Amino acid sequence: MAATSVPTTAGGVGAGQVFLGDARLALTLLNQARYYGLKRAFGVSREQANLLTFVLALGAAEASMEGARRLVRTPFPITGGDAFFGGLLVREAGFGLAGPAARAVPGFGALVAVAMVGGLGIPGLRRAARGVRSAENRIRQQRMAAYTAARIAAAQVRDALGVDD
C-alpha cells in the first residue's frame, strides 16, 4: 500500500467515503426534520422555509445577546470577602480531617481538590467514553457493511447488464 493511500475495507469503501456519506445522510435528515417542523409549527411551504429559518435564527441571536448582556451587567452576589472566608473554612476543614501532619505538606489544598475531582469525575468519564467508543464502533461497522453490500450489489447489476466501470 502506498504511503498516501486511504485504507479501505474488503469491499473497497474507504473511511473517508463512509464519513462523507454519513455526514451527507445526517445533514439531509436534519434538513428534512427542519422542513417538517416548520411546516407543522408555522404551516409554511418548502419555498418559505429558508426565509423563516433565517428570521427565527435572527430572533434567537437577538435573545441570546440580550441574555448575555443582562448576565454580564448583573452584580455578582458573592463578595471577595465571602469567597475568602469560604475558602479559608474549606481549607481548615480539610486540615481537620487529614490531621496535624497535613499542614506540613506543601500544596495540600490543591492536592485534595484534584483528588476529589478525579475521584468523582474520572470513573464516570471513563465509562462514558468507553460507551461512546463502543457505540461508534458498532454503528461504523453496520454502516460499512451496508455500504459494502450496496457496492457489491451495484457491481453485480453492472456485471449482469454488461456495463463497464
Q: If you search the block for the grid coordinates 411551504, which residue do you land on?
A: 45
Q: Is 52:42 a contact under the CB 8 Å cutoff?
A: yes
Q: Which three cell numbers stand for residue 133?
A: 467508543
Over residues 62-105, the pLDDT tens digits come to 999 999 988 888 887 888 889 899 888 888 888 888 888 888 88
Q: How many CB atoms sit inside 10 A of residue 133's CB?
A: 10
The residue ranges of every structural domain in the chain are: 13-81, 88-165
Q: Is 102:95 a contact under the CB 8 Å cutoff?
A: yes
What sign for the dihedral angle of Cα 156, 159, 163, 165?
A: positive
Measured N-to-C along each axis, helices 108-161 and 80-98 cross at an angle, to the nearest 10 degrees, of 100
Looking at residue 154, what is its pLDDT?
Answer: 85
pTM attached to this predicted model = 0.37
Query: How far is Cα 44 from Cα 56, in angstroms, rounded to an integer?
Result: 13
Over residues 24-71, the pLDDT tens digits come to 888 888 899 999 999 999 999 989 999 999 999 999 999 999 999 888
